[in-house]
Amino acid sequence: MSKFLLLFEQSYISKLKTKSFYITTLIMLLGITAFFMWPTISGWFSSNEKPVTITVADQTKGSAISYFKNNKKIIFKPAKQSVKQEEHRVVTGKVDALLILSLKSGSQLDAQLRTKKPFELNTQQILEEQVRSAGQLLTIQQLKLTADQAQRIIDQKTNLNQKVISPTADKGKSSQQKTTATIVSYAVALIIYLFVLSYLSIISSEIAAEKDSRIMEIIISSTSPIVHLLSRVCGVLALAMTQFTVLIGAALIMARVLQSGKYWHLISDLFSSLTAGYTVFAILFFFFACVLYTLLGAVLGSLVNKVQDVGQAVMPVTMVLMVGFFIAISGMSNPDTLLIKIFSFIPFTASMIMPMRIGATDMSLWQGFLSLVLLGLTIVGLFIFSLRFYRGSVLTYTNGSFIKKIKQAIQLSK
Amino acid sequence: MTLTIEHLTKRFQDFHAVDNLNFVAEQGEIFGLIGQNGAGKTTTFRMILNLLAPSSGTIKWADASVHTLNRDMIGYLPEERGLYPKMPVEDQLMFFGRLRGCSKAALKAEIDDWLERFYLSDKRKVLTETLSKGNQQKVQLIASLIHKPRLLILDEPFSGLDPVNAGLLKDAIVSLKKQGTVIIFSSHRMDHVEELCDHICLLKRGKSLFTGAIIDLKKQFGKINLTIRGPFDEMELSKIPGVVSVAKDKDMYRLLLSHENDAQPIFQMLTTDGFIERFSLDYLSLEELFKRKVASTLV
């Protein structure tokens, strides 16, 4: 136990003191700060931006132009001259664009834009929205409805209230709960992806460096290889959890302090709509994913001969992580697809996908349990497998495929 | 306390890395394990260290399995540098000492002592990667013996050391020997092996070609190494009966005789014209024996 603690301390403290740990933590903290300060930051950049001026040539007998509202991005002005003359003003740069409104087939609004240079995407989207809205209002006007009637059509919202009438079935979640869980699950998947990716490479490099420099031989001549493996896995996990705690802690403090606590209320509302079960599952999946990939990283690190080979060795694992993450993203629009269902049970991707299914679908909870058990069993299996060959793998310096190395390592471990 | 190796064999599928090895290293003895690269030295060390399991045979420490020996009582210096490059020297020694079960307080005094002995006191706070190759090797050696092991395994300890530092290292090894440590030692530098070791095991492709005292190996060949200095002609010397080969070494000639008994008639012949400056008959050096035995190369 004392040797485990010594190796754990050495692994944890030595990395905690490294400049790279401080720098990555600082960069992430800056990222979090930028997120919370975004309204202010974007204000700094957009305050100097001049809105575009669009002259509107209304050929709809003057009825459509009134639906275009000035905003931060666009100022609309009615055309005072002929279309040709207004086009000339665009070419000479006196105005940014000319919008020609006319009626197609007698009733449909047709809009044509003349610009000297293309608009930015954001401006383009705002203009498109205004044109669409103007088209709707014009149609309502043509139906000769009163303003109140038109407003009622536009504001009209119908809520679908779902009620499960089977006595044995779950009541189901509200769409609000599902949307919140989808957002939180996306964040969980992103955190798992980023953390696992960086710590996978940290542990692989550490073990490969110890093997390359033969320190490994000295250590395992003093204590069992398993103590070494566990101490390194726990050391790196502790480091990951330390960074995670620092970042979450900082994020919560910023949410409370910055922007008059606006984000704090947002986060409170977000979490209050999540069930306790979902939170427990998300935490367990996150932790299990860290354990699985750290262990996998240690095993891969023990199989390479040089630190330079680590990138190549962890590449397939990185690919699996990417697949899991992209499937999780695809689940944001529809978390009920067959693809999502299948990958939510595969232990290497389950941690990024299953929390989304638990929160954003009405699936039975036993599926979540099953996925978690499969993940746990994979960790146990990988640990037992690594017990069999870790001693041999750290002494294997031959070149060749991973399969060949694993076979040789198992033989050396006998 | 004695290290006894009996019929030790390690097979990797059809390849015999170590084949029926037998030797005994007594308490307070430096035992040399010598052989070319791939002879099986490191595999033998790894089996003694319990890093590899033998295919057959036994390794005993004081008549019990070597695995009953507390690992903290073993010291190991691997052939290649095994240090953390970004760790200061003092922390490095503290880490390896604690890994062998020593307390921080006990190690502090030992670290001071060893750093002073190896002229490294001013380097204690320095990162290991910034040290010269020789100084790194000294730190590595201190790390392997700071816990006062009862069994010390040194794989190529003199690699990268200049003569002054090699001398310091030899003194440290001899002082441990005097304290009763069993030291197993491998080196390609036969002069160091000859100087330090009492007994050796000469390995070739995993098999022992000779195991025993160095002097017994030398006696097998007899005193056939003749050095002479005088007004001789190389061609004439090579024609003398009993002379296998002649090599000019600056102002001397080194003659290899076919048998020790040939020396006396040669002496008579060379001194018939009177005084010669040097006539020295000796055993073959360990290096010459090594070449003869292992590489089957005549001097």
Domain identity same for A229 and A99: no
Domain identity same for B184 and B228: no
Domain identity same for B118 and B257: no
Of B50 and A234, the one with more pLDDT? A234
Q: Which of A218, A223, A414 sits opposite B78 (nearest CB)?
A: A218
Q: Per the domain annotation, does B291 fall within a domain?
A: no
Please judge whether A223 and B143 are an interchain contact, meaning their C-beta atoms are less than 8 angstroms apart. no
Instruction: Using 50 as the pLDDT threshold, list the residues of chain A that sit under it.
Output: none
Interface test with A, best of B84, B102, B107, B155 (most A CBs within 10 A): B84
Q: Per the domain annotation, does B297 fall within a domain?
A: no
Q: Please give the biggest Cα pair distance in chain B.
A: 72
Residues of B contacting chain A (CB within 8 angstroms): 12-13, 46, 49-53, 71-72, 74, 76, 78-87, 95-96, 98-101, 143-144
Chain A residues in contact with B81 by the CB 8 A cut-off are 213-214
Q: What is the pLDDT of residues B136-182, one digit of tens each?
A: 999 999 999 999 999 999 998 888 788 888 888 889 899 999 999 99
pLDDT of residue B198: 85
Nearest-CA distance B212 → chain A (Å): 27
Q: What is the pLDDT of residues A41-60, one digit of tens each?
A: 877 776 567 888 999 998 88
In degrees, to the nearest 5, what angle opens at C-alpha A159 toward C-alphas A125 and A148? 70
Domain that holds residue A282: 2-32+173-413
Q: Per the domain annotation, does A159 fall within a domain?
A: no
Domain identity same for B133 and B230: no
Of A305 and B28, the one with more pLDDT? B28
CA distance B217 to B219: 5
Domain identity same for A342 and A239: yes
pLDDT of residue A170: 58
| B11 CB-near residues (< 8 Å, 6+ apart) | B17, B55
Please judge whether B82 and A6 are an interchain contact, meaning their C-beta atoms are less than 8 angstroms apart. no
Task: Give the number of other Cβ atoms within 10 Å of residue A144's Cβ.
Answer: 7
pLDDT of residue A173: 67
Domain identity same for A126 and A7: no
Please judge whether B96 and A412 are an interchain contact, meaning their C-beta atoms are less than 8 angstroms apart. no
Which amino acid makes up residue A1?
M
Q: Is the dihedral of CA B204, B206, B207, B210 positive or negative?
A: positive
Report the number of distinct structural domains present in chain B: 2
Confidence band, pLDDT 50/70/90 cuts, at residue B50: confident
Domain identity same for A358 and A399: yes
Residues of A contacting chain B (CB within 8 angstroms): 2-3, 6-7, 10, 14, 213-223, 391, 395, 411-412, 414
Domain identity same for A351 and A252: yes
Please judge whether A221 and B71 are an interchain contact, meaning their C-beta atoms are less than 8 angstroms apart. yes
pLDDT of residue B298: 39
Q: Per the domain annotation, does A44 fall within a domain?
A: no
Chain A residues in contact with B49 by the CB 8 A cut-off are 217, 221
Strand B74-77 to B243-249 pairing: unpaired
What secondary structure, in 3-state letters, does chain A show? CHHHHHHHHHHHHHHHCCHHHHHHHHHHHHHHHHHHCHHHHHHHHHCCCCCEEEEEEECCCCCCHHHCCCCCCEEEEECCCCHHHHHHHHHCCCCCEEEEEEEECCCEEEEEEEECCCCCHHHHHHHHHHHHHHHHHHHHHHCCCCHHHHHHHHHCCCCCCCCCCCCCCCCCCCHHHHHHHHHHHHHHHHHHHHHHHHHHHHHHHHHHHHHHCCHHHHHHHHCCHHHHHHHHHHHHHHHHHHHHHHHHHHHHHHHHHHHHHHHHHHHHHHHHCCCHHHHHHHHHHHHHHHHHHHHHHHHHHHHCCCHHHHHHHHHHHHHHHHHHHHHHHHCCCCCCCHHHHHHCCCHHHHHHHHHHHHHHCCCCHHHHHHHHHHHHHHHHHHHHHHHHHHHHHCCCCCCCCHHHHHHHHHHHHC
Confidence band, pLDDT 50/70/90 cuts, at residue B299: very low
Instruction: Report the residue of chain A nearest B99, measured CA to CA.
Output: A3
Q: Which of A10, A14, A217 sits opposite B78 (nearest CB)?
A: A217
- Find tokens 């090699």 and name the residue: B166
Q: Per the domain annotation, does A165 fall within a domain?
A: no
CB B280 within 8 A of CB B252: no
CB A84 within 8 A of CB A59: no
**φ, ψ for residue A389 (rounded to 5)?**
-130, 0
pLDDT of residue B9: 94
Please judge whether A223 and B71 are an interchain contact, meaning their C-beta atoms are less than 8 angstroms apart. yes
Q: Per the domain annotation, does B276 fall within a domain?
A: yes
The tokens describing B115, both together, are 């750093």
pTM: 0.78
Please judge whether B100 and A222 are an interchain contact, meaning their C-beta atoms are less than 8 angstroms apart. yes
Please judge whether A395 and B51 are an interchain contact, meaning their C-beta atoms are less than 8 angstroms apart. yes
Q: Per the domain annotation, does A161 fall within a domain?
A: no
Q: Per the domain annotation, does B116 fall within a domain?
A: yes
Domain identity same for A136 and A270: no
B188, B218, B248: which is the final residue of a domain? B218
Nearest-CA distance A210 → chain B (Å): 8
pLDDT of residue A323: 93
Domain identity same for A402 and A330: yes
pLDDT of residue A335: 83
Q: What is the pLDDT of residues A57-85, one digit of tens each?
A: 988 876 778 888 888 889 999 888 888 89
**φ, ψ for residue B150 (rounded to 5)?**
-95, -20
Chain A residues in contact with B9 by the CB 8 A cut-off are none
Instruction: Report the residue of chain A nearest B86, measured CA to CA.
Output: A14
Domain that holds residue B240: 223-282
Q: Which of B82, B95, B98 sits opposite A213 (nearest CB)?
A: B82
Domain identity same for A202 and A345: yes
Chain A residues in contact with B98 by the CB 8 A cut-off are 6
Chain B residues in contact with A306 by the CB 8 A cut-off are none
Nearest-CA distance B197 → chain A (Å): 24
Domain identity same for B204 and B233: no
Q: What is the pLDDT of residues B181-197, one digit of tens each?
A: 999 989 888 888 888 99
- Find tokens 């409370």 and name the residue: A256
Please judge whether B82 and A414 are an interchain contact, meaning their C-beta atoms are less than 8 angstroms apart. no
pLDDT of residue A267: 82
Q: Per the domain annotation, does A162 fall within a domain?
A: no
Interface test with B, best of A10, A213, A218 (most B CBs within 10 A): A218
Interface test with B, best of A7, A217, A226 (most B CBs within 10 A): A217
Domain identity same for B105 and B144: yes
Across the range B32-38, mean pLDDT stands at 88
Domain identity same for A9 and A143: no
Please judge whether A222 and B53 are an interchain contact, meaning their C-beta atoms are less than 8 angstroms apart. no
Report the number of distinct structural domains present in chain A: 2
Q: Per the domain annotation, does A37 fall within a domain?
A: no
A109 burial (CB, 10 Å; 0-12 / 13-18 / 19+) is buried
Tell me what the pLDDT averaged over chain B comes to: 89
B166, B183, B218: which is the final residue of a domain? B218
CA distance A32 to A37: 9
Please judge whether B51 and A217 are an interchain contact, meaning their C-beta atoms are less than 8 angstroms apart. yes
Q: Does the structure show a pLDDT above 60 at B32?
A: yes
Q: What is the pLDDT of residues B198-248, one digit of tens each?
A: 899 999 888 998 999 999 988 988 899 999 998 888 888 888 999 999 999
Domain identity same for B214 and B230: no
CATH of the domain at B78: 3.40.50.300
Q: Which of A213, A221, A414 sits opposite B81 (nearest CB)?
A: A213
Q: Does the structure show a pLDDT above 50 at B279?
A: yes
Domain identity same for A184 and A146: no
Domain identity same for B115 and B259: no
Domain identity same for B118 and B247: no
Q: Per the domain annotation, does B44 fall within a domain?
A: yes
Domain identity same for A267 and A323: yes
Confidence band, pLDDT 50/70/90 cuts, at residue B288: confident
Which amino acid makes up residue A83?
V
pLDDT of residue A161: 66
What secondary structure, in 3-state letters, does chain B show? CCEEEEEEEEEECCEEEEEEEEEEECCCCEEEEEECCCCCHHHHHHHHCCCCCCCEEEEEECCEEHHHCCHHHEEEECCCCCCCCCCEHHHHHHHHHHHCCCCHHHHHHHHHHHHHHCCCHHHCCCEHHHCCHHHHHHHHHHHHHCCCCCEEEEECCCCCCCHHHHHHHHHHHHHHHHCCCEEEEECCCHHHHHHHCCEEEEEECCEEEEEEEHHHHHHHHCCCEEEEECCCCHHHHHCCCCEEEEEEECCEEEEEECCHHHHHHHHHHHCCCCCCCEEEEECCCHHHHHHHHCCCCCC
Taken as a whole, chain B contains a residue count of 299
Domain identity same for A375 and A241: yes
CATH of the domain at A134: 3.40.190.10
Nearest-CA distance B129 → chain A (Å): 12
Please judge whether B71 and A395 are an interchain contact, meaning their C-beta atoms are less than 8 angstroms apart. no
Chain A residues in contact with B95 by the CB 8 A cut-off are 6, 10
Instruction: Report the residue of chain B nearest A220, measured CA to CA.
Output: B51
Size of interface A-B (CB pairs under 8 A): 62
Chain B residues in contact with A391 by the CB 8 A cut-off are 51
| A353 CB-near residues (< 8 Å, 6+ apart) | A189, A324, A327, A328, A331, A340, A343, A344
The tokens describing B86, both together, are 């970004």
Q: Which of B51, B81, B85 sits opposite A221 (nearest CB)?
A: B51
